[in-house]
Amino acid sequence: MHTPIVKVMIGHRRVGKSYILYQLIDEIRNHEHDANIIYINKEDIDYVDIVSSKDLHDYIAQRLIRGKKNYIFIDEIQEIEDFKVAVRSLALDESNDIYITGSNSEMFSSDLANELGGRYVEFKIYSLSYMEFLDFHKLNNDDESLEKYIRFGGLPYLIHLPMREEVVMEYVRSVYSTIVLRDVVARNNIRNTAFLEQLIRFLADHIGSLFSSKSISDFLKSQNIRMSPTLVSEYADSLTSAFVVHRLGRYDIVGKRLFERGEKYFFENMGIRNVVAGYKPQDRA
């Protein structure tokens, strides 16, 4: 904090990025009561007119106070076209302390790396871990609590819901739909949404299994679904960029190098996985 380095927080929707921004704003105000704080949330209709880098720059520039520290917070910045241009310009002034959040890792890493070089630091925000889940919900560390975590996942907002399956899973389903539609389909201009759904279901049914894009393509071909390994890889990349799944490559300990082929996929949130594939008691194994 209080540095000219741009702070970037990325993670899929509803993992608590906005809440972290609110906490940072409160921390700043606790130490600087008259702080000049500029806040934009692209999910709020109040900011619907900010659609381009120029809109963003002009909105913030009108609210900057010269000779004073300016704290700039932009939530879900990926909704603004060419946002990186405005961020680069604002970052030139060392009196601007900038914090941004977004829901697409590939777009952030490539765009910001090109525009800002070493002038930004990235923080990945994940769903609650099991121990955080226990602390959040004030639960004991026992089999019943573990069952809830594996079944429902670690989205922070669950603390505001009754822990009943029909209520929780409906909320998780809505989060999943938003991520897929806005951060996967729309962001990557995906046409074959039916295949995307089949690929997500395949990954949900084969968590931790070792396979390649070609092996997935071959399996789908056996199910009369024809899709090239290249397209499988592109769709899988879009899912990892939106934090739906995490991909782990094979590692040769002796040679200390990544194998060229073969990888495993794990879901970022077990609740989302269970929305896709359903929950079975044996999933705990």
CATH of the structural domain 174-284, one choice from 3.40.50.2030, 3.40.50.720, 1.10.1060.10, 1.10.10.10 = 1.10.10.10
Q: Name the CA radius of gyration of the chain, rounded.
A: 21
pLDDT of residue 117: 72
Amino acid present at 273: R
Place of tokens 């921004």: 21
Both tokens of residue 215? 């092996």
Contact present, 145 and 139 (Cβ < 8 Å) = yes
Both tokens of residue 211? 């396979």
- CATH domain 6-124 topology: Rossmann fold (3.40.50)
Break the chain into its structural domains and give their ranges.
6-124, 174-284
Range list of β-strands (E), the chain:
6-10, 36-41, 70-75, 96-102, 120-124, 245-252, 257-267
Amino acid present at 144: E
For the chain, helix (H) and strand (E) counts, in that order, are 12, 7
Which contacts of 177-181 are long-range, i.e. CB under 8 A and separated by 24 or more positions? 178/13, 179/12, 179/13, 179/103, 179/242, 179/243, 179/244, 179/272, 180/242, 180/244
Q: CB within 8 A of 277, min separation 6: which ones?
A: 201, 204, 205
DSSP state, 228? -
* φ and ψ at residue 16, rounded to 5 degrees: 110, 15
Task: Output the CA angle 127-242-128, nearest 5 degrees.
Answer: 0
Q: Would you write out the chain's pLDDT as a tens digit for each of its 285 residues?
A: 888 899 999 999 999 999 999 999 999 999 999 999 999 999 999 999 999 999 999 999 999 999 999 999 999 999 999 999 999 999 999 999 999 999 887 766 666 777 777 788 999 999 999 999 999 999 999 999 999 999 999 999 999 999 999 999 999 999 999 999 999 999 999 999 999 999 999 999 999 888 888 888 888 788 787 888 889 999 999 999 999 999 987 766 555 555 455 789 999 999 999 999 999 777 665
Strand pairing report for 36-41 and 70-75: parallel
Q: Which of 150, 131, 123 is nearest to 16 (CA)?
A: 123
pLDDT of residue 255: 55
